[in-house]
Amino acid sequence: IYYSINKSIPLLANLIHIYEDDNIYVKNTIDFIDYNILSNFVVAYSNNRPIIFYFKLVDKFEELFVSTFDLNSRSWSKPIQITKSNKNKIYLSVLQDESSNYHIVFSENHDNKYYCKYVNISLENNFLKINQESIISKDVMCLFPSIIKENSTIYIQWVEYFDLYICKSCDLGMNWSKPIMDKNISNQPFIRYQYISDNITSIFAPKNNLSLNSLPIK
């Protein structure tokens, strides 16, 4: 899955899916994307079906959409709009839990300051239900937010300038702790590690010393 951009038509892209079926490669167009800033998309899986989350402009603002691949028809469902906040968004992270709920976090622009925004949804047979939607913090700017899950606890980790922040939820995203700055990691070189995992999409950790034990999550 990738973006295909025509340089002669700026700020427009096709979201393309290519898959192999019985030694034949098939190409699908998932959606046509217009954007202010091209951000990442996230692919999750439910019963071996790929599900894609991505941003697309609606009335000049990025909103979050989801589409599911039908294994029988070999086609993508009509995209479903998740957010309707009329605010620009960037940096997407998504995890699915054991109850098939999706935990979503991104940066959302509020008066030229990007806040950490969290959304919890369930998606069954293309029926969308928003279980929780909240701004995690209005005091700390949010860049590159990431969802991390350890057992029944969910963490959000993000960067503000050169500092690393983290908060947690012990009830699957219904309530969140106040974000705290991880001084141990912030005071040394750290980088972002990218994953394809059921528990981590990406994580900030000390350079050359990746460990969940380095996070203040006890």
d(CA 162, CA 178): 19
Sign of CA dihedral 90, 1, 155, 214: negative
Q: Give the chain's end-to-end CA distance (angstroms, integer).
A: 37
Q: Give the mean pLDDT of 56-82.
A: 95
Percent with pLDDT over 90 in the chain: 61
Q: For all residues of the chain together, what is the average pLDDT?
A: 88
Residue 130, pLDDT score? 94
Q: List 49's β-bridge partners, or say none.
A: 46
106, 118 Cβ separation under 8 angstroms: no
Q: Is the pLDDT of residue 35 over 90?
A: yes
Which comes out higher in pLDDT, residue 140 or 184?
140
Q: List, as one string, the DSSP characters of the chain.
A: -EEEE-TTSTTEEEEEEEEEETTEEEEEEEEEEE-SS----EEEEETTEEEEEEEEEETTEEEEEEEEEETTTTEEPPPEE-----S-EEEEEEEE-TTSEEEEEEEEEETTEEEEEEEEEEEETTEEEEEEEEEEESSS--EEEEEEEETTEEEEEEEETTEEEEEEESSTTSS-PPPEE-HHHHTS-EEEEE--SSSBSEEEEETT---GGGSS--
Question: 75 is written with which tokens?
Answer: 């086609």
Residue 77, pLDDT score? 94
Q: What predicted TM-score, i.e. pTM, was given to this entire model? A: 0.90
Q: Is the pLDDT of residue 1 over 50?
A: yes
Which comes out higher in pLDDT, residue 36 or 213?
36
Residue 211, pLDDT score? 55
Which comes out higher in pLDDT, residue 58 or 125?
58
Residue 90, pLDDT score? 96
Instruction: Render pLDDT for 174-218 as a digit per residue (tens, 0 to 9).
Output: 999 999 988 777 777 787 888 777 787 788 877 766 555 545 444
d(CA 201, CA 102): 13
Q: Is the pLDDT of residue 78 over 70?
A: yes
Q: What does DSSP say about strands 2-5 and 143-150: parallel, antiparallel, or unpaired?
A: unpaired
Question: 80 is written with which tokens?
Answer: 């479903």
* Domains of the chain with CATH codes: 2-214 (2.120.10.10)
- Tell the residue number behind the tokens 């028809």, with chain if given: 73
Q: Give the mean pLDDT of 14-34.
A: 94
Question: 101 is written with which tokens?
Answer: 């709920």
Q: Is the pLDDT of residue 160 over 70?
A: yes
Q: How far is CA 174 from the centre of its chain?
A: 18
